[in-house]
């Protein structure tokens, strides 16, 4: 069963013209994460590698594809968590950083803190030798178009918060049975400056514990935080539910309690995994036993050899 890595590219509605890029992106990222595991790398190495690949892909709402806040600027959040030690690192509202997930890893490894935010996170990045990049390099024409559209007087920003592009994340189990998670996002479209969502919050945007499993979430951040979705799913797994059943229970509770949709990728230490969502779509991919699994719509599950091109 081991090793295994599962990634998601965000829950919501993905326009047809962008869905192919989204599927290709998650498959490419899962291959990169799986290669790390096959070389004997740790689960934390694998999830950071997979999510960094997604941050570098403008098809997703993370890194260089991040949505813009009300001012038309990029503010990004990320988290990593190591199930072996419960060590975690997170950053929120960071700017001018190409790979917030790598910075979150540095917070975990190099500080006694769990989360650094805004200017403090950027100063820490400088002290660690992480290069700053121009904000323009993180802004796509697509993100700018959506930002302008939502500034219009008749716009309904809430309707498309989950749409078009998504938060990215990954979970993995390495050959030693250690689990890990990583999640990264540009946040909500046209959000208030300084708004921080679920992604960098332990138990909401992600959680990993060798005793139970690991989860990375996607959806409306405020709703995910209200139900601490990642930890809720692992609670169900502690009660004996499978990764798939626990994921469905957590998502169903969020839908009934706060009327919100979302998605998750989940693993347990034995290598059982799930990619589940209550939204219309969620691009996802998994790699296990040299087989690539992927899908986009509910009930969709394609498989092929990991080495075979899409």
Region 258-266: what's the mean pLDDT?
Answer: 96
Strand partners, 288: 4, 291
pLDDT at 154: 73
Q: Which fold has domain 4-305?
A: 3.60.20
Q: What span, in angstroms and rounded, lies between the C-alpha atoms of 50 and 195? A: 26
Separation of CA 39 from chain center: 23
pLDDT above 70 covers what percent of the chain? 96
pLDDT at 162: 44
According to the annotation, is 199 in a ligand binding site? no
Element (H or E) spanning 239, and its range? none
According to the annotation, is 197 in a ligand binding site? yes
pLDDT at 149: 87
Q: What beta strand segments (E) does 15-139 contain?
A: 76-82, 87-94, 115-117
pLDDT at 157: 53
Closest to 207 measured CA to CA, from 150, 167, 264: 264
According to the annotation, is 295 in a ligand binding site? no
pLDDT at 156: 62
The model's pLDDT over 171-207, given as tens digits with 9 standing for 90+, comes to 999 999 999 999 999 999 999 999 999 999 999 999 9
pLDDT at 64: 96
According to the annotation, is 218 in a ligand binding site? yes
List the domain boundaries for the chain: 4-305
pLDDT at 14: 82
pLDDT score of 165 more than 80: no
Residue with tokens 């962008």: 18
According to the annotation, is 293 in a ligand binding site? no
Region 85-100: what's the mean pLDDT?
Answer: 98
The model's pLDDT over 129-159, given as tens digits with 9 standing for 90+, comes to 999 999 999 999 999 998 998 888 776 655 5
Could you tell me the pLDDT band of residue 163, with boundaries at 50, 70 and 90? very low
pLDDT at 18: 84
The model's pLDDT over 113-124, given as tens digits with 9 standing for 90+, comes to 999 999 999 999
111 is catalytic: no
Residue with tokens 């990991």: 306
Element (H or E) spanning 272, and its range? none
The model's pLDDT over 82-91, given as tens digits with 9 standing for 90+, comes to 999 999 999 9
Largest CA distance in the chain: 55
Q: Is 143 helix (H, G, I), strand (E, B) or coil?
A: helix
Residue of 111, 117, 140, 167 marked catalytic: 167
Q: How many CB atoms lie within 10 A of CB 211?
A: 11
Q: Is 197 helix (H, G, I), strand (E, B) or coil?
A: coil
The model's pLDDT over 208-236, given as tens digits with 9 standing for 90+, comes to 999 999 999 999 999 999 999 999 999 99
pLDDT at 151: 85
User: In sequence order, which residues have a C-beta less than 8 Å from that of residue 10 and are 6 or more positions away?
Assistant: 60, 61, 165, 166, 167, 168, 218, 263, 282, 283
Lowest mean pLDDT among 36-40, 213-217, 305-309: 305-309
According to the annotation, is 195 in a ligand binding site? yes
The upper half-sphere exposure of residue 296, i.e. CA atoms within 13 Å in the direction of its Cβ, equals: 16
Closest to 233 measured CA to CA, from 262, 197, 271: 262
Burial 127-153 (b: 16+ CB within 10 A, else e): eeebeeeeeeebbbebbeebbeebeee
Q: What beta strand segments (E) does the chain contain?
A: 4-12, 76-82, 87-94, 115-117, 168-173, 179-185, 206-209, 213-219, 262-267, 273-277, 281-288, 291-297, 302-305
Q: What span, in angstroms and rounded, lies between the C-alpha atoms of 256 and 105? A: 34
């Amino acid at each position: 069963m081991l090793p295994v890595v599962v990634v998601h590219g965000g829950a919501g509605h993905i326009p047809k013209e962008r869905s192919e890029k989204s599927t290709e992106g998650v498959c490419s990222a899962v291959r990169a994460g799986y290669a790390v595991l096959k070389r004997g790398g740790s689960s934390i190495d694998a999830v950071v590698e997979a999510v960094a690949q997604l941050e570098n892909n403008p098809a997703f709402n993370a890194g260089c594809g991040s949505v813009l806040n009300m001012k038309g600027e990029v503010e990004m959040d990320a988290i990593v968590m190591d199930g072996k030690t419960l060590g975690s690192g997170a950053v929120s509202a960071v700017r001018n950083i190409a790979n917030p997930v790598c910075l979150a890893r540095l917070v975990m490894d190099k500080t006694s803190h769990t989360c650094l935010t805004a200017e403090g996170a950027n100063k820490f990045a400088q002290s660690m030798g992480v290069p700053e990049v121009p904000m323009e390099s993180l802004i796509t024409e697509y993100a700018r178009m959506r930002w302008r559209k939502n500034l219009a007087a008749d716009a309904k920003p809430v309707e498309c918060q989950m749409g078009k592009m998504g938060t990215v994340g990954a979970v993995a189990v390495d050959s030693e049975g250690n689990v890990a998670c990583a999640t990264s996002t540009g946040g909500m479209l046209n959000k208030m400056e300084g708004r921080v969502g679920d992604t960098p919050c332990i138990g909401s945007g992600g959680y990993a514990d060798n005793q139970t499993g690991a989860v990375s979430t996607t959806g409306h951040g405020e709703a995910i935080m209200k139900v601490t979705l990642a930890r809720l799913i692992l609670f169900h797994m502690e009660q004996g539910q499978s990764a798939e059943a626990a994921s469905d229970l957590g998502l169903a509770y969020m839908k009934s309690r706060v009327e919100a949709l979302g998605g998750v990728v989940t693993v347990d230490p034995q290598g059982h995994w799930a990619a589940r969502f209550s939204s219309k779509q969620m691009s996802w991919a998994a790699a296990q036993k040299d087989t690539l699994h992927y899908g986009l719509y509910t009930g969709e599950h394609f498989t092929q050899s990991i080495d075979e091109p899409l």
